Amino acid sequence: MQDYIVKIFKESNRVKEAFLNDNLSKIAEVINVLTTALKSGHKILIFGNGGSAADAQHIAAEFVNRFIIERPPLPAIALTTDTSIITSIGNDYDFNEIFSKQIRALGQAGDVAWGISTSGNSPNVLKALEIAKKMGLVTIGFTGKDGGAVAKAVDYSIHVSSANTARVQEAHIVASHVICELVDMRLFQKPDLK
């Protein structure tokens, strides 16, 4: 059993290292985009399904409450948390509309729509990102596998070249923590950090 545990850790480390090599400059771009949006008074709308829904909530909490440093709250909303909205849209229209209708209601040009889909092909995430782009929001996609349709639809695509959902989610959360930390630094401690 211990050998199997070691194998999982090694695989996770290998996937994250490859992910960093493939996405370092893209992560830096996303940090700049989020910093600019927040400085300009815009908000971040984050969404995904299943574990990615939990990641959306986790990331939003880091922005709204705090991450590492004490600082004012930052405007971020996880579109995965209001069960009345999600179930009413799913019931009255279609599950594929649960995020796009919220984007239409809450999003404004200059805001950031951050969709998370480990497959890169979640129809409701893709639809929300397409609507967001039409409305003038900046779009970010966190995906796995080959990036799927989401990678092609967004302004900024960050993808983990793995088909293993757990490994993709692990890389996503590390990248999200890096983004939160560096956005905080750029906004409140080291604005000249390039």
For the chain, give the mean pLDDT.
Answer: 96
Average pLDDT of the segment spanning 23-34: 97
Average pLDDT of the segment spanning 88-103: 97
Average pLDDT of the segment spanning 152-168: 96
Count of all residues that appear for the chain in the document: 194
The four Cα atoms 50, 55, 61, 62 give a dihedral, to 10 degrees, of 180
Task: Assess contact for 187 and 71: CB atoms under 8 A.
Answer: yes
Average pLDDT of the segment spanning 150-166: 96
Give the pLDDT band (50/70/90) at residue 193: low
Q: Which of residues 118 and 190 earns the better pLDDT score?
A: 118
Six-digit token pair at 137?
Answer: 């929001």
Question: Which pLDDT belongs to residue 190?
Answer: 75
Go through the domains of the chain in sequence order and give each one's CATH number. 12-189 (3.40.50.10490)
pLDDT at 36 over 70: yes
Average pLDDT of the segment spanning 104-119: 98
User: What is the model's pTM?
Assistant: 0.95
Question: Which pLDDT belongs to residue 189?
Answer: 86
User: Which candidate, 109, 99, 110, 51, places its Cα nearest to that of 77?
Assistant: 99
pLDDT at 60 over 70: yes
Percentage of the chain lying above the pLDDT 70 cut = 98
